[in-house]
Structure 1
Amino acid sequence: MPTSPAETRPLLHAACHCGGVRFTVRLTDGLNTARRCNCSYCRMRGAVAVSADLADVQVTQGEALLTLYQFNTAEAKHYFCSTCGIYTFHQRRSSPDQYGINVACIEGMSPFDFAEVPVTEGRAHPRDRADGKTRIAGWLRYQANGHSE
């Protein structure tokens, strides 16, 4: 029996800080989609996000704990745990068929696993520009100091 593309991508387990919200996800292109954004909300939230198609995210526990936050155009849907406040994922304005997943919620992953993450220009959103293209505003870099205490 042929394997579907979704079956070749690993099923990852994720949760908020308190564990009240749990979900599974299959990423569209592994960690290659990791990025941050400099829009007013994302720069305060500070999360590194990776991409998943809407159908590839399944909340397995605590859906009632998810709280929705929207602002400005109210097109993007930002979800977070109402108990611990952790941002879990959001339905993107730029790609409404995808979620941005908080990489820190994925078991065994951390935003500090990335030496460099592109920061997209969100202050001038791609959907608000004539060319519709995403621009890179800069790069977020992390380098461990070599001490493990």
Structure 2
Amino acid sequence: MNYKGSCHCGGIAFEVEGELAGALACNCSICSRKGSLLWFVPHDKLRLLTPEKDISTYVFNKHVIQHRFCPTCGIHPFGEGVDPKGNKIAAINIRCLENLDLASVAVTHFDGRAL
């Protein structure tokens, strides 16, 4: 299935393809503050509709995840990184997807603070 998403102001727009079977709620220091619900997909399933230069990036700790956000409205629609097998992935904040009933998505809680 194809989904469209964006930040609040529309400055970052994207499409993502895949089957949304569930999302992850992480309690690490940044995820708990952002309140993201994350859906991990292969990076090639994410298609930016916004020029890369218009997207800001935040990294911390081990600098392995690029937390992408809008410099205008501050919303974090996705992150980018590498999975344990070395594959490029995107972590889509499903709260930024259009026409999605969040109550219909199973959420798994992840203890990111323990990492």
Corresponding residue of 2:30: 41
> Aligned pairs, how many?
113
Which contiguous aligned blocks of 4+ residues in structure 1 show a shift greater than 6 angstroms?
none
* SS in structure 2 of the partner of residue 55 of structure 1: helix
Partners of 2:34 and 2:44 in 1: CA distance:
25
- CA-CA distance at 1:109 after TM superposition: 1.9
Conserved? CA contact 2:58–2:67, under 8 Å: yes
Q: Structure 1 residue 24 and structure 2 residue 15: aligned?
A: yes
* SS in structure 2 of the partner of residue 35 of structure 1: strand
Write the deviation string for residues 20-71 of structure 1: whole angstroms up to 9, x where unpaired: 11111113xx222311101111111111111211111111124322110000
Normalised to the residue count of structure 1, the TM-score between the two structures is 0.68
Conserved? CA contact 1:20–1:62, under 8 Å: no
* Long gaps (5+) in structure 2: none
Normalised to the residue count of structure 2, the TM-score between the two structures is 0.86
Corresponding residue of 1:102: 93
Higher strand proportion, which one?
Answer: 2
Partners of 1:57 and 1:49 in 2: CA distance:
14
Q: Which structure has the greater CA radius of gyration? A: 1
* Long gaps (5+) in structure 1: 1-9, 126-149
* SS in structure 2 of the partner of residue 40 of structure 1: coil
Corresponding residue of 1:123: 113
- Among 50, 72, 75, the alignment partner of 2:64 is 75
Corresponding residue of 1:55: 44
- CA change 1:52–1:115 in 2 (3 A) is closer
Conserved? CA contact 1:22–1:62, under 8 Å: no
Corresponding residue of 1:128: none
Amino acid at match of 1:118: T
